[in-house]
Amino acid sequence: MSTPNERDEVFVALPDLALGLLPAAEAERLMSIVATSQSLQAELASLRGASNALAHGVPAAPIAADRKAAMRERLMTRAVSVKLDSAESTSTTRTPTGTTVTTPTFSATLKLEPRESRSTPIIREVQIPARLSLVQRISPFLAIAATVAFGLAVFRLQDIMQQRNDAEDALRVATVEATRTSAQLAISDSLIAAMSGANVRVVDMVSTKKLAPGAKMFWDRVANRWTMVTHDLPSAGEGRTYQLWLVTARAEKISAGTFNTDARGRAVVQATYVLAARDLAAIAITEEPTGGSPQPTGTILVAGAATQ
Amino acid sequence: MAGGDESALGALYDRWADAVNALVVRIVRDEAEAEEVVEAVFWQAWQQAARYTTDRGAPGAWLLAMARSRSLDRLRALRRRRDEQPVDDSVFDNQPAVGDPLSELDANERASRVVSALQHLPDEQREVLELAYFEGLSQTEIAERLGLPLGTVKTRARLALRKMRDRLDALREVEA
């Protein structure tokens, strides 16, 4: 049991526990006291909720669409592969493999010898030496025939097992390919929908310099979906990233995420954000430190006015 | 997902990848490193799905808790690699003035509330809270980093989290 003084001391330190600020031994000591009081448990739970909520207050950083799709594909492929491996190992324990089949073959062959030697006393009992000598004569041939038959059966079984393994490999490859294709199709469908819907407004963004970089923003005003495609925009340098901004009529700059371009200067960025049609004044891209900035600090590289 | 349905992993990824990435980028501050961490977080979720229970919070909270833990591990490893050079905090001195786009409206509301609650904290309290949460520093490390007495750090952290909790509760009641 804990004393009121101990509970008071723990109550004061509960934020330290919720934030994970305490050394393990101290945290354990406090938790043992928390466990004795429902009010301390409730207070700790609500403080932990507040602490966890901090994760939702970070600036948006959507993953570039191509890298997001690639990561999804890797995860799905890995999950499917592990699942298939697991299923295979389970079935192996139930189904004899080539090795386990071979073992009884040899044991069966070896068992012929004691059976043969055991037949001698039995034959002596019934005393029919003529038939005995016949059996003795054909026994080696029977043994060879049985061994050959077993060998052929094992060979055939191994062949069947190999065919089964080949079929399983083909199925695994096909499943992975189907998953990949399905993921790519879903991304393509999503992009097509985001760029071609009846409610999509297009904002052309042009470079502020004479060079070629440019971008188009597709704004689905019903789904509140923003899809931006860049071209000829060189990759941001080491420790830098591009950041997309929605500029409102009141000159607020809203970050729509950070991104980088591929070797051909392309990037596809998607975000969902609710903004009334009349509130959008412009869209711009700046270069910022990695991780993005709360407000633009770099020069505007590409921009487009929402004049429509 | 606990039953080994990979499509559930895909759905979880589609729903939370950007939010997890935002948190990881905020902590690790290196997009290439962040991408590895994000992938590891979802793989961990897939592997540990059978052990997930609702008392660990909603799936999103569970995922973000894993993301924070893995990000702090990576951040500490990066610090060791960089000879303990402190990370430049100047980029994150101020929270954004308006909400940031997340993957859906609910997330927008959550982000907006959290940013609002943070903005109501005095700067010195918010600083301690962010060092604790986003950098995983202990009270002693924060005191050393800021050149403050340990007692001051404790007081600021405790006040900050309680005020933040109260502010979030108040916003929730206003919405209700």
Question: Is B62 a member of any domain?
Answer: yes
Which tokens go with B166? 């109260």
Q: How far apart are alpha carbons A272 and A276 in whole angstroms?
A: 13
Length of chain B measured in residues: 176
B96-118 residue pLDDT tens: 322 222 334 366 777 788 888 88
Query: Do the Cβ atoms of A56 and B110 come within 8 Å?
Result: yes
The residue of chain B nearest to residue A23, with distances taken between CA atoms, is B138
Q: What's B112's domain CATH number?
A: 1.10.10.10
Residue A57 has pLDDT above 60, yes or no: yes
Residue A93 has pLDDT above 50, yes or no: no
Query: Do the Cβ atoms of A294 and B118 come within 8 Å?
Result: no
- Choose one of B37, B52, B81: the last residue of a domain: B81
- Helix axis angle, A4-18 to B150-175, nearest 10°: 80
Nearest CA-CA distance, residue A165 and chain B, Å: 22
Q: Are residues B77 and B104 in the same domain?
A: no
Query: Do the Cβ atoms of A63 and B10 come within 8 Å?
Result: no
Which tokens go with A205? 């963004």
Q: Are residues B71 and B124 in the same domain?
A: no
What's the pLDDT at A140?
79
Give chain B positions within 8 Å (CB) of A54.
114, 118, 129-130, 133-134, 164
Interface of B with A in 56-75 (CB under 8 A): 57, 61, 64-65, 67-68
In this complex, the residue of B57, B98, B164 whose CB is nearest that of residue A50 is B164
Question: Is B56 a member of any domain?
Answer: yes
Q: Does residue A224 sit at the B interface (CB-CB below 8 Å)?
A: yes
Question: Is B93 a member of any domain?
Answer: no
Q: Are residues B56 and B12 in the same domain?
A: yes
Segments forming the whole domain that contains residue B149: 100-175
Question: Is B49 a member of any domain?
Answer: yes
Give chain B positions within 8 Å (CB) of A288.
91
Q: How many CB pairs under 8 A join A and B?
A: 197
The residue of chain A nearest to residue B109, with distances taken between CA atoms, is A56
Question: Is B129 a member of any domain?
Answer: yes
Give the count of domains, chain B.
2
Q: Are residues B61 and B113 in the same domain?
A: no
What's the pLDDT at B161?
93
Give chain B positions within 8 Å (CB) of A280.
none
Question: Helix, strand or coil for residue A242?
Answer: strand
Q: Are residues B77 and B12 in the same domain?
A: yes
Going by pLDDT thresholds of 50, 70 and 90, the confidence category of residue A76 is confident
Give chain A positions within 8 Å (CB) of B138.
21-23
Q: How far apart are alpha carbons B19 and A62 in whole angstroms?
A: 7
Nearest CA-CA distance, residue A274 and chain B, Å: 7
Q: How far apart are alpha carbons A28 and A23 in whole angstroms?
A: 9
Query: Do the Cβ atoms of A75 and B13 come within 8 Å?
Result: yes
Query: If you count DSSP H runs as helices and E runs as strands, how many of each does chain B have, helices first?
Result: 7, 0
∠ CA A89-A91-A96, rounded to 5° = 105
Start-to-end CA distance of chain A, whole Å, equals 70
Q: Does residue A19 sit at the B interface (CB-CB below 8 Å)?
A: yes
What's the pLDDT at B152?
94
Cα B141 to Cα A21, A129, A282, B92, B131: the distances in Å are: 10, 99, 43, 19, 9
Q: What's B26's domain CATH number?
A: 1.10.1740.10
Question: Is B29 a member of any domain?
Answer: yes
Average pLDDT of chain B is: 79
Q: Which of A42-46, B76-80, B172-176 has the lowest mean pLDDT?
A: B172-176
Q: Are residues B112 and B52 in the same domain?
A: no
Query: Do the Cβ atoms of A59 and B96 come within 8 Å?
Result: yes
Question: Is B65 a member of any domain?
Answer: yes
Residue B158 has pLDDT above 80, yes or no: yes
